[in-house]
A and B are shown apart, each in its own frame.
Chain A
Amino acid sequence: AQSVTQLDSQVPVFEEAPVELRCNYSSSVSVYLFWYVQYPNQGLQLLLKYLSGSTLVKGINGFEAEFNKSQTSFHLRKPSVHISDTAEYFCAVSDDAGGTSYGKLTFGQGTILTVHP
């Protein structure tokens, strides 16, 4: 079984400040890791993903995340945020086990990022 924990339910920051949204996961098999963003009353948009290879993953809108296998973490970072980054961010994991569980995403609880002027 997999689980995802987003350690902060809400993160308020000022515009142009750096931000880190934390995500830890647990899984007994190899995993794929994702960050999605959800704006109010909209579906989810993929920010970035880690499937294999380099542990530092760059995504859209200036976001990046680093996969740390030893700490089972996949924290999302942005060096300078904008007002338009205000949204809810979800970390998710899927396994590579195949079978009926293949591709199923397990989501964290979400982190609401609020960027203040």
Chain B
Amino acid sequence: GAVVSQHPSWVICKSGTSVKIECRSLDFQATTMFWYRQFPKQSLMLMATSNEGSKATYEQGVEKDKFLINHASLTLSTLTVTSAHPEDSSFYICSASPPTRGTQYFGPGTRLTVL
């Protein structure tokens, strides 16, 4: 149980284009989903917290207009990187938390490369 999927697993795009990443909780309802980015050889940095049906809460320094987050249902959240640039290349990981307290379950990550 507690499986989280991400799609796509990797994506290459041209500078200036937008990329959408999906995060799904497959066998539980996720009232809260989190989006992280991880640079090579570094830890995970929280970008935003997404609650179903409400606006995402962004961490300091994360541009909300660049990283659009939508949490339309209890099993799906999307992250759209708008007008991507090479410096946005990173490993993006989502996690989902069920209504019961305490645990986040992570997706397998999406490798984004912007040329």
A-side interface residues toward B, CB under 8 Å? 32, 34, 36, 41-46, 49, 51, 90, 94, 96, 100, 102-105, 107-110
Contact = CB atoms under 8 A, between A and B. Distances in A.
Interface of B is mostly: strand
Given A42-B109, A44-B44, A103 B97 contact: yes
Given A32-B102, A51-B102, A107 B109 contact: no
Interface residues of B, number: 24
Contacts of A110: 42-43
Contact of B108 (A32, A43, A108): A43
A44 B93 contact: yes
Interface of B: 4, 6, 32, 34, 42-44, 46, 49, 57, 91, 93, 95, 97, 101-109, 111
Contacts, number: 58
Contact of B44 (A41, A42, A51, A90): A90
B43 A108 contact: yes
B49 A43 contact: no
Given A32-B102, A49-B103, A105 B46 contact: yes
A43 B43 contact: no
A8 to B, nearest CB: 14
Contacts of B6: 43
A13 to B, nearest CB: 20
Given A32-B102, A42-B108, A43-B109, A103 B43 contact: no
